[in-house]
Amino acid sequence: MNDSLHLPKASDFLPGTSFVIKEFAVPLVKTPSGDWFNWFGGHPRPYDVTALRIDNNWPAKSFEEWVSVVRESMGSRS
């Protein structure tokens, strides 16, 4: 089975969710309630935001940019 079929879709997230990229390779999500998740490897895990600094992360330009980082993090599984 092709794991790329299991990449998240924009419709999987609540309106108001923020998509963030940390250090070019870590896809993060901030939910409308303020919870953070790391999607590296294609599976969400709670994320401790104390590792974020003003210079090591930025908002994704689009959901498509963010999901491409998720895809890259999945390596050969995507």
Arithmetic mean of pLDDT, 33-43? 97
How far is residue 12 CA from its own chain's centroid?
12
pTM of the model: 0.88
Residue 36's nearest CA partner among 27, 23, 25, 47 is: 47
Residue 76 confidence (pLDDT) = 55
Sorted by where each begins, the domain ranges of the chain are: 3-77
Residue 75 confidence (pLDDT) = 87
Q: What are 14-29's pLDDT values in tens digits?
A: 999 999 999 999 999 9
Distance CA 53, CA 30 (A): 15
Burial pattern 5-18, b for ≥16 Cβ within 10 A else e, equals: eeebeeeeeeeeee
Distance CA 58, CA 37 (A): 15
Mode of pairing for the β-strands spanning 18-22 and 36-38: unpaired
